[in-house]
A and B are shown apart, each in its own frame.
Chain A
Amino acid sequence: MTKRRHHDMGGLDAGPVEITDHDHAPWEKQVNAMLRLLADPKRRVMTVDELRRGIEDLGPGAYDEQSYYERWISSIGNILLEKGVIEVDELGRKMGEIEARMRAAQAEAGKAAQ
């Protein structure tokens, strides 16, 4: 039985480290900005420690499947729900709205390409 929590990976074999620069997608920058605003000293809606706790509590499956900023936004969403800043129904409707908007934009782009 290991007492090591999944995220606590320091010292495990991990292969070579990728040290080349990579660009961040616009949504990743938005997630970063969102956290900075939520955690800034004026607002203090949540702490980076809560962000980290939320990431650790995703569990081994989601932790490995999600990318860095996917883990951030999963944690931010859960923490804001927990604190009552947003509601489940509100979040679900907004996600549906954005998905519909994206599909419409994609369809539009498809038409323009023809």
Chain B
Amino acid sequence: MTGGTTPNSAETRPRFAPGDRVRVRAAFPPGHIRTPFFVRGREGKVEALAAIHPNPEGLAYGGDGTPRRPVYRVAFRQAELWEGYAGSPEDATVVDIFEHWLEPAEGGAP
């Protein structure tokens, strides 16, 4: 079981493309998740498809992590993440996020 960026036949094709505006789901399940608290509910921009990767939410409980999920590199503006951020308004934090944690942002494709 590997990463890579090509889905096999049983896996859905990546839903988002570079440049898409996305919103991270504001979900707070109790188990093992890889989506940091500080980006949940926040809006960002997809920079790239990082990998198609086994799902850690399954792997963490003895599962095999299939089907693998697209993981995106998503950029968030620092000024929108941190209250009173003093740096440049262009500063960004880039976080790898699994596709099932993302929804299209209003006004953003698709």
Contact = CB atoms under 8 A, between A and B. Distances in A.
Given A50-B59, A52-B60, A53-B61, A11 B81 contact: yes
Number of chain A interface residues as a range: 10 to 19
A4 B31 CA distance: 12
Interface stretch (B6-14, B32-40, B100-108): B32-40
B61 A11 contact: no
Contact of B31 (A3, A47, A53): A53
Contact of B37 (A10, A47, A49, A50): A10
A4 B60 contact: no
A28 interface: no
What's the dominant secondary structure at chain A's contact region?
A: loop
B58 to A, nearest CB: 8
A49 B65 CA distance: 10
Interface of B: 28, 30-32, 36-38, 56, 59-62, 65, 81-82
- What are the 7 A-B residue pairs with the smallest beta carbon separation, nearest first? A49-B59, A53-B60, A3-B28, A53-B32, A49-B60, A11-B38, A8-B37
Interface of A: 3-5, 8, 10-11, 47, 49-50, 52-53, 56, 83
12 contacts: A3-B37, A4-B37, A5-B30, A5-B37, A8-B37, A10-B37, A11-B36, A49-B56, A49-B60, A50-B61, A53-B32, A53-B61
